[in-house]
Structure 1
Amino acid sequence: MVLVYADTTALTTWTGQAPPANATQLLRSASMLITSATVASVYGVDDAGLPSDAKVLDAFRDATCAQVAYWVGAGVDPAAGGISTKAPVRGKGLGSGRVEYDTAVSGSVTAFQAKRSAAATLCSEAFMILHQAGITPAGVQRG
């Protein structure tokens, strides 16, 4: 069972925008990435496997929303391995129906590698949310 830490309402609150059409899939993928990033972290869970502490659960929710916002802003689709199959429109026309796609940037090897990496890597904002909440593994702890 995949734990999902945020819903479309939380995503809308986080971004201030309507969620994308694939929001449910993005939230699920981001939640799996958050779970993987915190696999060695210690925190209490409830019977469903969700963090039992409200502050920890809030951090998981916020980190999930931040990750989705990052993917949407960068045009990354983790379900497609990060690779977007749509090139941005470079030019349009009305008479004769002309449309040109800019494949110079979106089609480059560097862009594909960056998007593939972004699909499987926690963004810095999501990491900082988890880190500041004390959830990321920090090695040896005294106490």
Structure 2
Amino acid sequence: MPDVGDLVTARLEVGEHDETTAVTLVLAAPDGTVSTPVVTPVDDGAAWTAPVVYTAAGVWRLSWSVTGTGAGIEQELVSVAPAPGARGDGRVYATTTDLANALKEAPPLNAQKLLERASELLDSDFLLTAIYDVDEDGMPTHPLVAAGFRDAVCSQVEFWGEVGEETDISGPLKAAQIGSVNLQFGSGIDGSGPSYYAPKLLRALRLIPEDHIRFTALASC
């Protein structure tokens, strides 16, 4: 599977061919943008190749059109992954170095993705109504708040490493308290589903001094 930014040589084997055979390629990006790379015959016309640069993650469509001998149309779908190490658009409260220090061992290869998802969970389930000082990017400015968020995110990733990230769909926390706010979460009719939050995440948030962060509303899910 190619990554964003990869330059690859797309190739089409044409089978039956002669001097009348000609091939064109239409390349459709995930956003629908269309381009026509230069196609060149190789192996005396038995195959045709074209340079392709994948500029975005997603599914690309390669539409080959053969005229003359061997005429036909062939469609090819290529799934392109984000560039390795690429970060999402949201806030990320810990680095892979932070995670390695928290785990006291090398982090998993998908650590960046897990930190992004843990940060999203923190934002959506705990910080949506919280009040604290931020910079222009929405990141906490007080070092104790930043450290608390860092520890919370690393704890969640460590938790996923033990129980599996799939627990994120099994049911949220039933009850917890952070400062003066009681959090009541739960899955199922009686809200008794298993927690998908790391206990250490909750402790990390509780350790942030209340004069630096304030949770202003009851969270629900």
Query: Which residue is equivalent to 2:207?
Result: 132
Aligned CA RMSD, in angstroms, stands at 2.4
1:49-68 pair list within 5 angstroms: 49-68=138-157
Which structure has the greater CA radius of gyration?
Answer: 2
Question: With structure 2 as the length reference, what TM-score do the two structures score?
Answer: 0.42
Alpha-carbon offset, residue 75 of structure 1? 2.2
Contact 2:93–2:119 (CA under 8 A) maintained in structure 1: yes
How far apart, in 1, do the equivalents of 2:160 and 2:96 lie?
15
Contact 1:67–1:123 (CA under 8 A) maintained in structure 2: yes
Of 96, 111, 117, the match for 1:29: 117
Moved beyond 4 Å, runs of 4+ = none
Alpha-carbon offset, residue 81 of structure 1? 4.9
Bigger proportion of residues as strand: 2
Of structures 1 and 2, the one scoring higher in RCO (CA 8 A, sep 6+) is 1
How far apart, in 1, do the equivalents of 2:214 and 2:160 lie?
21
Unaligned 5+ runs, structure 2: 1-88, 171-192
* Alignment deviations for residues 48-90 of structure 1 (CA, whole Å, 9 cap, x no partner): 1100111101111110000100010112247x957xxxxxxxx
Bigger proportion of residues as helix: 1
| Residues 20 and 8 of structure 1, relative CA distance in 2, 3 Å threshold | same
Contact 1:130–1:136 (CA under 8 A) maintained in structure 2: no
How far apart, in 1, do the equivalents of 2:101 and 2:206 lie?
22
Identity of aligned residues (%): 34
Instruction: Count matched residues.
Output: 104
Question: With structure 1 as the length reference, what TM-score do the two structures score?
Answer: 0.64
Which amino acid letter does the alignment assign opposite residue 62 of structure 1? D
Alpha-carbon offset, residue 128 of structure 1? 1.5
Query: Which residue is equivalent to 1:100?
Result: none
| Residues 126 and 136 of structure 1, relative CA distance in 2, 3 Å threshold | farther
How far apart, in 2, do the equivalents of 1:136 and 1:14 lie?
26
Unaligned 5+ runs, structure 1: 83-112
1:99-118 pair list within 5 angstroms: 118=196
